[in-house]
């Protein structure tokens, strides 16, 4: 590619220094609440029903077909205090203290029926995948239970984690275990479960806190933490798990109290934060989580759907339902060739004009790498702030996100025949390298004929 006289992209960027104070992108509104019979520990929502693990009163089935007027329509006491609950299809799986994983038939929600149980002393969170229940079982670690016959569940495999396994999330061939504990803290443990009967260690990350709950979404694990060693132990940890053998904590959000549960949906993390209540965190940019909204209660468990958020709380024991609206918008880069999104075909003698612009969405002010690169018949080229277009693929500039109106960055004719693809992107991992899997970018393809 010929050396192109550089249009001063950097000067244009620096002229557009827009300072925008962050405002919340989330609005949480109380909808209703219903008293439960003991101490509501956790909730799982499926269809028109919320299933609540209600400590010594077992399972409470709540009709939420009208979320403004919930009503208890069924219940079943369990042996042992009901803590964590998962529901899949016609079965509820409840972790009961000193009893184990209890399986309940909820095909008729008004009359739940006991089916079977796998005995273990300190069951925590469970994750159901196919014919298996993955159970965080305290100082025993991770248990993999065959539930193909729900009347007679049996152990398929196990892995003894170094701490106390409180929760587990399964994705692909890995189990992500929140392995907390006041004295023996295993952090986030990643276990290879490709061989269910013989799981093996893959990687771990220290979260500086007592890990209570874990959710995985995309390339990130979201871990809620608490502890008694200071405020830095409380809140949410976001961990990059793109390399399971070497997970990295990339950011934290400190909450006021003990973050006992986390649920992630779309671009928001919902935290049950004990006396801190319900805390909503905007995680659109996982490298820079932000406050969304909050509600005062003694929050224990949380679940979210497309329309509502459900919080279990104690003192008093309730299930509280919220509706919400959100406006979190991701950055939107745009790059065009001769005013078109492409692909286009032009003659070598024609002018090629490349323009770029960025709508920073609700992430204005966040740190980012900006890059402008082109794949040409002669390899990769990138825009350098001093030299213009030169061989290689490097970051153009590192500045905070801001709205960038349309600007021309190339205007010339006479490029050799071939296929050219121009890319404009921003990535939120500000490390001076192009990280495509953590980026927002756009491209345009041009074919130049003789």
* Interval 141-182: pLDDT, tens: 999 999 999 999 999 999 999 999 999 999 999 999 999 865
Backbone angles phi, psi at 90, to 5 degrees: -95, 5
pLDDT band at residue 282, thresholds of 50, 70 and 90?
very high
Q: What is the pLDDT of residue 278?
A: 94
Average pLDDT over residues 189-202: 97
User: Is the pLDDT at 70 greater than 50, yes or no?
Assistant: yes
Domain range annotation of the chain: 9-19+330-449, 26-326
Burial class (CB in 10 A: 0-12, 13-18, 19+), 357: middle
How far is CA 146 from its chain centroid?
A: 28
Distance CA 135, CA 193 (A): 13
Alpha carbons 186 and 227: distance in angstroms, whole number = 14
Q: CA-to-CA distance for 290 and 431, rounded, in angstroms?
A: 20
Q: Which CATH number fits domain 9-19+330-449: 2.40.110.10, 3.40.50.300, 2.60.40.3880, 3.20.20.450?
A: 2.60.40.3880
Average pLDDT over every residue of 82-109 = 96
Report the pLDDT value the prediction gives residue 232, as an integer from 0 to 100.
64
Judge whether residue 3 has pLDDT over 70. no
Pairing of strands 369-376, 397-398: antiparallel
Average pLDDT across the chain, whole number: 89
User: Residue 254: which H helix or E strand, with range?
Assistant: none
Please say if the pLDDT value at position 8 is more than 80.
Answer: no
Instruction: State the DSSP H helix or E strand holding residue 261, giving kind and residue range, or none if neither.
Output: strand 261-265
pLDDT, tens digit (0-9, with 9 covering 90-100), for 207-226: 877 889 999 999 999 999 98
Checking if the pLDDT of 13 tops 80, the result is no
Band of pLDDT at residue 391, cut at 50, 70 and 90: very high
Task: Supply the pLDDT for residue 390.
Answer: 93
Percentage of the residues of the chain whose pLDDT score is greater than 70: 92
Sign (positive or negative) of CA dihedral 326, 319, 232, 265: negative
Sorted by sequence, the CB contacts under 8 Å of residue 103 that are 6+ apart come out as 91, 92, 93, 114, 115, 116, 117, 147, 150, 153
Instruction: Identify whether 343 is preceded by a cis peptide bond (ω within 30 of 0).
Output: yes
Compute the average pLDDT of residues 244-255.
94
> Which residue bears the tokens 């991770």?
142
Q: How confident is the model at residue 4 (pLDDT cuts 50, 70, 90)?
A: very low
DSSP string, 366-435: ---EEEEEEEETTEEEEEETTTEEEES----EE-----EEEEEEEEE--PPSEEEEEEEEEESS-SSS--
In whole angstroms, what is the distance from residue 273 CA to residue 364 CA?
Answer: 28
pLDDT digits (tens, 9 = 90+) for 25-41: 678 899 999 999 899 99
183 pLDDT above the threshold of 90: no
More confident site: 8 or 430: 430
Among 2.130.10.10, 3.30.1490.20, 1.20.140.70, 3.40.50.12780, name the CATH number for the domain at 26-326.
2.130.10.10
Q: How far apart are CA 128 and CA 15, in angstroms?
A: 53
Q: Is the pLDDT of residue 381 over 50?
A: yes
- The CA distances from residue 58 to 39, 40, 153, 312, 313, in Å, are 10, 9, 20, 14, 15
Around Cβ 200, how many Cβ atoms within 10 Å?
10
Q: Which two tokens stand for residue 81?
A: 């205090």
Rounded Cα gap, residues 160 and 108, in angstroms: 37
Q: What percent of the chain has pLDDT over 90?
A: 71
* Residue 17 clears pLDDT 50, i.e. is over it: no
pLDDT of residue 228: 60
């Amino acid at each position: 590619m010929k050396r192109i006289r550089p249009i001063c992209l950097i000067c244009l960027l620096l002229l557009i220094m827009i300072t925008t104070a962050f405002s919340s992108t989330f609005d949480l509104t109380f909808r209703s609440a219903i008293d439960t019979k003991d101490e509501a520990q956790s909730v799982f929502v499926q269809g028109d029903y919320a299933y609540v693990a209600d400590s010594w009163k077992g399972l409470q089935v709540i009709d939420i077909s009208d979320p403004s007027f919930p009503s208890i329509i069924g219940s079943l006491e369990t042996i042992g205090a009901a803590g964590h609950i998962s529901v899949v299809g016609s079965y509820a799986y409840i972790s009961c203290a000193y009893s184990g994983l209890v399986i309940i038939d909820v095909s008729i929600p008004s009359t739940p029926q006991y089916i079977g149980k796998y005995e273990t002393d300190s069951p925590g969170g469970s994750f159901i995948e196919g014919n298996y229940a993955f159970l965080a079982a305290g100082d025993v670690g991770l248990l993999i239970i065959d539930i193909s016959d729900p009347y007679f569940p049996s152990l398929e495999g196990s892995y003894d984690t170094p701490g106390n396994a409180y929760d587990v999330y399964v994705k692909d061939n890995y189990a992500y275990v929140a392995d907390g504990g006041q004295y023996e803290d295993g952090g986030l443990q990643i276990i290879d479960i490709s061989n269910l009967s013989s799981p093996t260690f893959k990687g771990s990350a220290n979260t500086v806190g007592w890990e209570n709950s874990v959710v995985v979404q995309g390339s990130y694990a979201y871990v809620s933490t608490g502890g008694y060693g200071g405020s830095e132990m409380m809140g949410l940890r976001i961990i990059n798990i793109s390399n399971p053998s070497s997970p990295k904590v990339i950011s934290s959000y400190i909450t006021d109290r003990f973050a006992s549960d986390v649920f992630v949906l779309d671009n928001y993390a919902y935290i049950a934060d004990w006396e801190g209540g319900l805390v909503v965190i905007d995680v659109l940019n996982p490298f820079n989580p932000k406050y969304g909204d909050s509600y005062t209660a003694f929050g224990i468990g949380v679940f979210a759907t497309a329309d509502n958020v459900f919080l279990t709380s104690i003192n008093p024991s309730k299930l509280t339902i919220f509706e919400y609206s959100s406006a979190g918008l991701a950055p939107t880069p745009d790059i065009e060739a001769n005013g078109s999104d492409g692909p286009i075909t032009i003659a070598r003698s024609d002018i090629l004009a490349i323009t770029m612009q960025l709508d920073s969405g609700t992430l204005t002010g966040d740190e980012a790498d900006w890059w402008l690169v082109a794949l040409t018949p002669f390899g990769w080229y990138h825009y350098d702030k001093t030299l213009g277009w030169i061989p290689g693929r490097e970051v153009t500039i590192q500045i905070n996100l801001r709205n960038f109106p349309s600007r021309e960055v190339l205007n010339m004719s006479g490029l050799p025949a071939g296929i050219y693809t121009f890319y404009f992107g921003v990535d939120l991992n500000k490390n001076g390298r192009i990280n495509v899997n953590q980026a927002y970018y756009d491209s345009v393809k041009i074919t130049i004929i003789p």
